[in-house]
Structure 1
Amino acid sequence: MRFLLITDTFPPDINGVARTLATLASGLESRGHQVEIVTTLEAAPEAEESLKRHIVMAMPLPGYPGLRMGFTTTWQMQALYEEFRPDALYVATETPLGIASIRAAKKMGIPTVSGFHTNFQTYLEDYSLPGLEAVAQGLLRSIHNQTARTLTPSIDTAAMLEKWGIHNVGVLGRGVDTDLFTPARRDPALRQTWGADESTPVAIYVGRVAAEKNLDLLTRAFSAFREVHPQAPCVVVGDGPKLKNLQTDHPEFYYSGARTGNELAAHYASADVFLFPSITETFGNVVLEAMSSGLLTVAFDYAAPRLLIHPGENGLLAAFNDEPDFLEKTRSAATAWNDQIQRTAAREAAHHLGWQRVIEQFESELLQVIGTTPQHPA
């Protein structure tokens, strides 16, 4: 089959959505399908990528220059469809790029599955656009209900979309590369650059350094961790529009910038406790990566943490958006940072969540909107 994936973000962007879509696209290709990408950025010069890209015009998202919004027209997308002849589309964006793509597909009768990957409607207040969440929900409902199926990564988010009136919502989970994200990549030399020996716990955050990630609570959580271990290094891995502000306000933290591949895996494995205070995730891929790396994770009780973390067995959950509870759970994690039973259990919980099952489900979802039954290898 011929599939076209349409998305504003794709590698070399460094974020969970870009990594997820790249994994899904390459997974479809490995299963014998022809896959092409419509996106806003060329592949990195050093990238070994077999997928053909179609690049559209783009502009930075307001207040977030690291991400882009794609623009195209209905007739331009129709021309692309005429050339490629896709059997089905996966539209992972609700921007003008996605809207034009869905309209063109409707005109040409091409089955379309859409993806709800990001809670952009909750970002509006963070980016000085308060009071527009209801308007955004209506727009998202209109867009997704023009497609045959909407996929989102967690039960929580699926329930939210159904409450908004979006039809035919399905849950497509996420996976993790357990060979990449493993405790075996722990690096004593890297820990030394943070001022930590093996008797010193390290608290880490991995993700965008942006307003929607609840950075104020992150800084207070780091402080709570250091109430228990005053010399503990606190490490921030990632980039984003609030990085310079965070560096200025908190020079006591270590900042590693954005990391990928083996470097990212080494940063996870070289820490001990993962703090994830975000309340805006549709899933939270980083939680899977941290647990696969053998870290004790503190997060709020929703999305991926709710699915993966069993409190007191392999991590700690705080009541959703209860900041005092999150800080208390952080102090508990600081005390239990070297609990090898819990950390091993975290690794084991992630170990069963490889990408292959997700790719097979994704293939099945696309084939079903075409009216084809998936033919899995024997």
Structure 2
Amino acid sequence: MSAPTLHVTLISETFPPEINGVATTLGRLSEGLRQRGHQVDLVRPRQATDPAHAGDEQLLCRGWPVPGYPGLQWGQVSMHKLLRRWRRQRPDVLYIATEGPLGLSALRAARRLGIAVVSGFHTNFQQYTSEYGLGLLTRLLTHYLRWFHRRTHTTLVPSVSQRLELERRGFDNLTLMARGVDSQLFNPGRRNKALRDQWGLENEDIALLYVGRLAAEKNLAVLQQCLHAAQQQYPLRCIKLIVVGDGPQRSALQLQLPEAVFCGAQRGEALAEHYASGDIFLFPSLTETFGNVVLEALASGLGVVAYDQAAAAQHIRHGHSGALAMPGDVEAFIDACNWLVEDAEALRRVRLNARQHASRQGWPAIIEQFENHLREACRQPQQLNTAPQAATLVIKSGSSAPRG
């Protein structure tokens, strides 16, 4: 006998068509659950592209802009509105992907009604604070996040390194659930000569590619260091930096890197063509919970250079399917890039192995794992929380932290 279908509600302050790793992952998970026959509702902030009436499967709430992140929002909805909605049509389980005011309201309402809750740790906000000059908030924010996730059935984390980091900070009941990649969309066959012509590159020239948010926490100064080191080491080679993405640091980076090609944010097949038209993918971020772009680059057959953590640590074998440096070792990162620039045969071999590995990392198995975690939460007895006042002080002391 087949297992009963679930009524799942996802709570997130970002969702497609917004461009970021959290939105991409949630879009895949929600569509995968629907394809498996489950009812999936969504609670999120209203986006500029949303119609006036979003349908019964979505609750769109007011959003407040996130400082320094144009296009991203904190969501705000009253707990009482959620209580009314979920008393009328009770979900079996919630998945809370973001811990801001919207996620907090959903958590409190679920505990009041005894609804099962699974949470996800998608963003290292406690690490971002230092990048934005808010280092004093790190301890407070970590305390709030730990408090938040302890009140859910389990917290899904995407990488082994992320789980170890959270355990070191006192988080518990963590469950590993990795990410997948669409290897039909992202594949080397989408390499586009016309696009490389626009970049001013011949077939034998080297395109150093970066895809992602252009923001302080991405450690983007390393891109300039890699480019200049490679150009000085190999002055007879044509080596260009191609930057795909947008964010608060774009203007500053364009001033610092006038010779680089800035392509802006790309989606779908256009994004896949940009990946496949590169040669070496540089990913210097040190704050990732996973890094979906690493898998997308591997699937596109690129030689990936990254720090040995998160997705790179799980999916790259150094010297075989990519090149890794110890976290924070900029010289080793630059050396890894130069190795792939210098050794054409090594780059060819690494790109082939990268594609072979990534082609086995599909989404269906991840979505099945996700469904199993939701079912397990539903099977556990839920305790009604009819007196949340005891937690109010903790909530109030931490709830302002995510607003920055």
Question: What interval of TM-score do these two structures reach, taking the shorter chain for normalisation?
Answer: over 0.9
1:280 to 274, 287, 294: 287
Distance 1:45 1:88, change over 3 A: closer
SS in 2 for 1:137: helix
Q: Does 2:150 match 1:145?
A: yes
The residue correspondences of 1:1-378 to structure 2 (distance < 5 A) are 1-42=6-47, 44=49, 52-230=57-235, 231-336=238-343, 339-371=347-379
SS in 2 for 1:202: strand
SS in 2 for 1:133: helix
Cα separation, 1, equivalents of 2:233 and 2:191: 23
Distance 1:322 1:170, change over 3 A: same
User: Which stretch of the first structure deviates more once superposed, 158-167 or 253-262?
Assistant: 158-167
Paired-residue identity, %: 44
User: Which stretch of the first structure deviates more once superposed, 229-238 or 88-97?
Assistant: 229-238
Distance 1:163 1:249, change over 3 A: same
Deviation at 1:325, TM superposition (A): 1.1
Distance 1:239 1:83, change over 3 A: farther
Deviation at 1:107, TM superposition (A): 0.2
In the alignment, residue 162 of structure 2 is paired with which amino acid? Answer: T
Cα separation, 2, equivalents of 1:293 and 1:71: 38
User: Which stretch of the first structure deviates more once superposed, 246-255 or 34-43?
Assistant: 34-43
Cα separation, 1, equivalents of 2:28 and 2:133: 33
SS in 2 for 1:124: helix
- Under a length normalisation based on structure 2, what TM-score does the superposition of the two structures give? 0.88
Cα separation, 2, equivalents of 1:149 and 1:140: 13
Contact in 2 for aligned 1:3/1:86 (Cα 8 Å): yes
Deviation at 1:337, TM superposition (A): 5.0
Cα separation, 1, equivalents of 2:152 and 2:280: 41
Cα separation, 1, equivalents of 2:226 and 2:46: 36
Deviation at 1:16, TM superposition (A): 1.0
Question: CA-atom RMSD, angstroms?
Answer: 1.7
Cα separation, 1, equivalents of 2:330 and 2:106: 41
Where does structure 2 lack aligned partners over 5 or more consecutive residues? 1-5, 381-404
User: Which stretch of the first structure deviates more once superposed, 237-246 or 64-73?
Assistant: 64-73
User: Which stretch of the first structure deviates more once superposed, 50-59 or 188-197?
Assistant: 50-59
Distance 1:154 1:43, change over 3 A: farther
- Under a length normalisation based on structure 1, what TM-score does the superposition of the two structures give? 0.94
Q: Provide, for residues 317-345 of structure 1, a one-character-per-residue CA deviation record: whole Å limited to 9, x for no partner.
A: 00111111111111112113563221110
Q: Counterpart in 2 of 1:376? A: none
Cα separation, 2, equivalents of 1:42 and 1:320: 36
In the alignment, residue 310 of structure 2 is paired with which amino acid? Answer: A
SS in 2 for 1:220: helix
Q: Provide, for residues 80-136 of structure 1, a one-character-per-residue CA deviation record: whole Å limited to 9, x for no partner.
A: 212331000000011010011000000000000001000011111211212221111
Cα separation, 1, equivalents of 2:327 and 2:146: 25
In the alignment, residue 263 of structure 1 is paired with which amino acid? Answer: A
Cα separation, 1, equivalents of 2:207 and 2:290: 24
Where does structure 1 lack aligned partners over 5 or more consecutive residues? 373-378
Cα separation, 2, equivalents of 1:267 and 1:337: 21
Cα separation, 1, equivalents of 2:33 and 2:106: 20
Q: Which structure has the greater CA radius of gyration?
A: 2
Cα separation, 1, equivalents of 2:374 and 2:285: 31
Contact in 2 for aligned 1:3/1:88 (Cα 8 Å): yes
In the alignment, residue 26 of structure 2 is paired with which amino acid? Answer: L
